A = this chain, B = another copy of it.
Amino acid sequence: MCRWLAYSGSPVLIEDLLYTPKHSLIVQSMHATLGVEPTNGDGFGLGWYGDRATPGLFRSTEPAWNDRNLRDVAEQVTSPCVLAHIRASTGTAVQFTNCHPFRHGQWLWMHNGLINSFRAAKRDLVLAVDPSLYPDIEGSTDSELLFYLALSFGLEDDPPAAVARAIGLVEAAGREHGEPFPMQGTIATTDGTTLYAFRYSSEGRSRSLFHSTDASTLRQQYPDNALLEKISDSTRLVVSEPLGDLRGAWREVPESTCVVIRDGAEELRPFAPLAPPPLGIPGQAGSPREVVGSPRPTAPAVHPTG
């Protein structure tokens, strides 16, 4: 189990995001309350967008609560789009390249959850990654592989569809290996402009996910709250766990939902996996994108969620 936070809005000092809140992500690294496991000490990562198209990335295998460099970067850097993640390994090695967020070009990706029976299905899934993308995989996690599947299936063009296809493939491959509930978790991904968050599990019992409510309403309710004053109306947060106990500030994201945040507005859409390409074929084709991608737009959801 992991915990994560995604921010989109007015430029924020990262410290205010990671350290200042009462139940901040750093506090959660030692004392998460909504997860399977209270300790998230197997590394962390911070991705942020600055002046460049390519986001900055700061990851480490140390527990987040100890990392002084993270603290210093957080105290100095402001950004309008931030992804932060604290890791509790589900078995893969605790190493730099297994820390979220993962980055590819302008895109960041992070995940809380796991692919069940990953060992059995891993090779099949790797075969479906676009060969031109394959050498860029650096770590050994299910989460990074999921990112590369989504990239192979068109993440940069149609993120919700690409994620739906990637999860569709994970479910098909998992079931081939006898796993009834292959997919579990929440995902956040962004290009720095639009933020996408997903809550989905094959079993329909997904990891927790919350999004912030309208800041202007909250400001009226809590006129004395200093934090709310700093936040613009267009600011939105999606988090594994609420960052404080301000009643009304957080709404649970329903099961099988995709949250899209753009220009200070959020949209919640139903989310369901899309049928995967026939397994085994991608290896022969020149590009899985073509094989996999073409019949997909009209494919029905393979898993009636919710």
Report which of B77, B78, B123, B139 forms a contact with A134, defined as CB distance below 8 A. B123
Q: Are A69 and B66 in contact (CB under 8 A)?
A: no
Of residues 37 to 83 in A, which have CB atoms within 8 Å of B's CB atoms? 38-39, 41-42, 48, 50-52, 54, 56-63, 66, 68-69, 72-73, 75-78
Stretch touching chain B among A93-101, A188-196, A238-246, A260-268: A93-101
Residues of chain B contacted by A78 (CB below 8 angstroms)? 51
Count of this chain's copies in the oligomeric assembly: 4
Q: Are B77 and A76 in contact (CB under 8 A)?
A: yes
Report the separation of the CA atoms of residues A21 and B78 in the bound assembly, to the nearest whole angstrom.
Answer: 27
Q: Does A231 contact B (CB under 8 A)?
A: no
Report the separation of the CA atoms of residues A60 and B94 in the bound assembly, to the nearest whole angstrom.
Answer: 13
Q: Which residue of B lies closest to A130 (CB)?
A: B123
Q: Are A138 and B93 in contact (CB under 8 A)?
A: yes
Q: Does A280 contact B (CB under 8 A)?
A: yes
Report the separation of the CA atoms of residues A135 and B123 in the bound assembly, to the nearest whole angstrom.
Answer: 7
Q: Are B41 and A283 in contact (CB under 8 A)?
A: no
Known A41-B63, A66-B42: A140·B97 in contact at CB below 8 Å: yes
Q: Does A122 contact B (CB under 8 A)?
A: yes
Q: Which residue of B lies closest to A127 (CB)?
A: B283
Q: Does A137 contact B (CB under 8 A)?
A: yes
Q: Are A76 and B60 in contact (CB under 8 A)?
A: no
Q: How far is the CB of A257 from chain B (nearest CB, A)?
A: 31
Q: Are B38 and A41 in contact (CB under 8 A)?
A: no
Q: Does A284 contact B (CB under 8 A)?
A: yes
Of residues 93 to 127 in A, which have CB atoms within 8 Å of B's CB atoms? 93-97, 118-120, 122-123, 126-127
Q: How far is the CB of A27 from chain B (nearest CB, A)?
A: 12
Q: Are B63 and A63 in contact (CB under 8 A)?
A: yes
- The count of residues in chain A whose C-beta lies closer than 8 Å to any C-beta of chain B is 51
Residues of chain B contacted by A137 (CB below 8 angstroms)? 140
Q: How far is the CB of A149 from chain B (nearest CB, A)?
A: 14
Q: How far is the CB of A128 from chain B (nearest CB, A)?
A: 12
Residues of chain B contacted by A73 (CB below 8 angstroms)? 56, 58, 73
Given contacts A59-B69, A61-B66, A118-B135, 17 further A-B contacts (CB under 8 A): A42-B63, A42-B66, A54-B75, A56-B75, A58-B73, A60-B69, A92-B138, A93-B138, A95-B97, A122-B134, A123-B134, A123-B135, A126-B126, A127-B127, A137-B140, A138-B140, A280-B284
17 A–B contacts from the bound complex (CB under 8 Å): A41-B41, A41-B63, A42-B66, A48-B76, A52-B76, A56-B72, A62-B94, A69-B69, A73-B73, A93-B96, A118-B135, A119-B135, A120-B135, A123-B131, A123-B135, A127-B127, A283-B283
